[in-house]
Structure 1
Amino acid sequence: MQNKIYPCLWFDGQAKAAADFYCSVFGDGKITADTPMVVNFELGGQKFMGLNGGPQFKPNPSISFYVVCQSEAEIDAAWAQLSSGGMVMMPLGKYAWSQKYGWLQDQFGVSWQLDWGKMEDVGQKFSPLIMFANAQHGNAEAAINLYSSLFPESSLVGVARFEEGEPTPGLIKHAQFKLHNQVFMVMDAPGTHAFNFNEGVSLVVDCQGQEEVDHYWNGFTAKGEESRCAWLKDQFGVSWQIVPRELMQLLSDPDPEVAQYAMNALLQMKKIDISKLTMEPTKTVLTVQTTVNVPVAKAWQYWTEPAHIMNWNNASDDWHTPKASNDLRTGGRFVYTMAAKDGSFSFDFSGTYTEVTEHQRIAYTLDDDRKVAIIFEAVGDTTKVTESFEAEDMNSLELQQGGWQAILDNFKRYTEG
């Protein structure tokens, strides 16, 4: 099945042991990713994440997993294994709503509600059951409404309410609904309980693209609480992780530099900004240089005045610059029209100045976003001109360097003449 939403279980270094245990208990399980921090596994085709987050949080019964067992032998075997070293919350036996049911907390603190029933009655083997207790008691219906408003393909499957004579009549005793065609359950729990929602069990939303990230993040945090690294709490205190698929791909990239960059970027974020997870591609910087046998003031004048630019700004004799404009100041623009003398082709070489220090340095950004810097260095009565530029992708580096050097050599000949 499609796992648009899947649970994340918080462990203190026990994620792999827990995943192995659950795969053995439920039989149809496999581990799909195994790293020191994260262990992903599937049970009955449904995705779970085990997170080695440390001792800060532990799973508790506020979010449990309702499991459909299709035979008495299956429920008895699962109960025996899960209850070993754990804690029974409701003994395995016959109840008004089930021929055989039990609720327990296993040795890792994860809660399971096992029910002997038919798969078609629920539609999936494992369903997160969110219990609204203590300060959140009475909010189960509001949660269904919020979650259904955010996720497509949502529907209410059925609701059983507390009746007159029962605690809190009218509130939800048990409800089943779908988000993105995945089954979830909620209940309002009367009385006082020794647990509340925490990060021990969270729900991960697998997002495709920034638009989905923004949609779910903004929807949940409108009355909720932002946390770090894609985590948040909704208005009821339930923890969610809004994770773009691109992040998971980058964190598992075979290039350790790419993966580490993504991790470092993640650690600085609350909501994930996909555009900031990847390194800017490193641009190749080429350098050309010449020494002009004139004082720096003259070199600067001939380099910057349009009347002079039109006389030297060409790499070969079959090209020229018939037009040039130059607003020489930080933030100013220049446009040099470079054309073949036979009229077959022309283009504008243009950009915006980012630094102008008279007789010393000029820097600008070309309209294709490449950076250029020119340094004028007075050496007695001569001027050393060094020009560095970011290469483009259309032509070879050798061709680009040769072309820029040819223009610089032409500048030298014109200025000295």
Structure 2
Amino acid sequence: MELQITATAPEHPAALLDLPWGIPLEQWPDEYLVALPRGISRHVVRFARAGDEVVAVKEVGEWAAVREYGLLRDLDRMAIPAVDPVAVVTGRTGADGEPLEPVLITRHLNGSLPYRSMFETTMRPGTVSRLLDALAVLLVRLHLTGFAWGDCSLSNTLFRRDAGAYAAYLVDAETGQIQPKLTRGQREYDIEVARVNISGELMDLEAGGSLHPSVDPVLFGQAIADRYEELWHELTRESVYPVGKRHYIDRRIRRLNELGFDVAEMQIQRSPDGDAVTFLPKVVDAGHHQRQLLRLTGMDAEENQARSLLNDLETWMASQDDYTPGDPLGARPEVLAHRWVREVFRPTVRAVPQELRASLDTAQVFHELLEHRWFLSEQAQHDVGLDAAIEDYVRLAAAGRSAAGHLEPATDAETTGP
């Protein structure tokens, strides 16, 4: 059988051809590999460089590889946070002519970490809760689109900083399936699997001395089920309001936005006697600020990052002489937004040395600078400006300290040192 590469983009096969497909993955020489933290997997997984990209390579049976590749492409089309599928490689043979397992290749998610790397030193209970909140939101988003995961766990998730919170990404879709709509039983099965898996994973960390003493694995496993139910209820419940209280509908929509979800459309019915309105929101996944930032600037960022950047953009626009909201003679928001990118965003990010921002995306760097400016301004009781914030941010980062002192470090670890 000849080597065959099925890829999502025409440039991928050429870059992938240079990898040593005739060698079992666990024996690949170091010259092809990239040293990145790996989570626990039932399969052999390695990170490798393919052209200008870093990819994750997983050995798995051909049927499973092709199926997962298709599911990840479907999730990508539905804008669900998951790793990007790159290719499936089949027809591998070793030097002895014996067949080797096919592989599934996905793109490495820049700035992400598996949960075990985040627990290398003891993580505070509040941060553990935020990780589980991020996973609960991911599970709700999957269920809203009709995706039954089948194996929800910390091991099958990657986490990335999203401003002051975390964003969770599905990394293993091997057991998943997509249907028009999930039944309550299918959703409850996923929740129960998540509860059991997460409790077990936290117990494993506890046995290894990597879990904060105040974190109860069983209670935190149940917490994700409780958080899921709270989110699902808020997103799907039907509300009945008096006819004269239409502002209650606006309040409900605002609450959904605060949870990170948008309302695509509304189903409203008046009661037969005309004294009440039944309101059922049609909810889509998170992304209101993401889409607004993308529309205005062309920048793609996490939701909380986008919210932070938009706040700065709107404040900056208000200070421009040629912008007056609603004035047809003034500059359009899109024009001013691109000017902000050119005159504010890019110069600010580039002022941070490359080695200090290599592990973060540019939106996260800018967000941290905005947070640091706020922190310094609070201390000084006046706006210190971005230049002063950049200078202090770089000074602290170069000294090996948290660049934004009021923010928790990326791993949120507690140390016993001075």
- By relative contact order (CA 8 Å, sep 6+), the higher-ranking structure is 2
TM-score, reference length from structure 2: 0.25
Greater helix content: 2
TM-score (ref. length: structure 1): 0.25
Structure with greater strand percent? 1
